[in-house]
Amino acid sequence: MEMIMIIVLIMLDQWTKGLAERLIGSGKPVTVIAGFFEISCLANKGAAWSIFSSHNWGLVFLIILSSIVLFALLWFLRKAGDRRAKAVLILLIAGSAGNLIDRLRAGAVTDFLSFTFGSYAFPTFNLADAMITVGTGLLILFSLMDRHFLSIQFGTGYASSSDKEKKKDE
């Protein structure tokens, strides 16, 4: 079931990027909510906020790093114990895979969602970026709520007997 969810999220990410590329391309951004939300189409050759985009080796580095992270996340998904861990991993895997597909296909990631908050223009992003951000946010939240979350769910440690009893009750 997890793999189906991952595939659906990757397809949604790729579909929305394709729409932005076909409907807007390098043309003028489309205003959705004046002064707040626009849809534009940008090719990001780097990582978040275009880090490494000015380096020739940046794309190769990002493809290798993304591939390693993706395989590690897939390994953790096989080991994940509960829905919270699986939800985090599904979002991280789908987002990472969506952006990796772009890098392999076009040499750049398609970003198209632009938000402005007063005088601050948030960096343009895509659904894969949003999945990675939400997955990371959930990982932090679950870790703060349950100090053993990381060690138990991702197999990096062992639960105490009280944690095992608590898990049985859930």
User: Which 8-state DSSP code applies to residue 123?
Assistant: P
pTM attached to this predicted model = 0.82
Q: Which pLDDT score is estimated for 161?
A: 46
Residue spans per domain, the chain: 2-169
HEC string of 41-72? EEEECCCHHHCCCCCCCHHHHHHHHHHHHHHH
The identity of residue 3, as a single letter, is M
State the sign of the Cα–Cα–Cα–Cα dihedral 42, 48, 49, 52.
Answer: negative
How many angstroms separate the CA atoms of 105 and 10, rounded? 14
Pull the structure tokens for residue 135: 């997955």
SS3 category, 112 = strand
Catalytic residues: 111, 129
User: Which 8-state DSSP code applies to residue 29?
Assistant: P
The tens-digit pLDDT sequence of the chain (170 residues) is 999 999 999 999 999 999 999 999 888 999 999 999 999 999 887 665 555 555 565 667 777 888 898 998 988 888 887 899 999 999 999 999 999 999 889 888 999 999 999 999 999 999 999 999 999 999 999 999 988 887 766 555 555 444 555 555 55
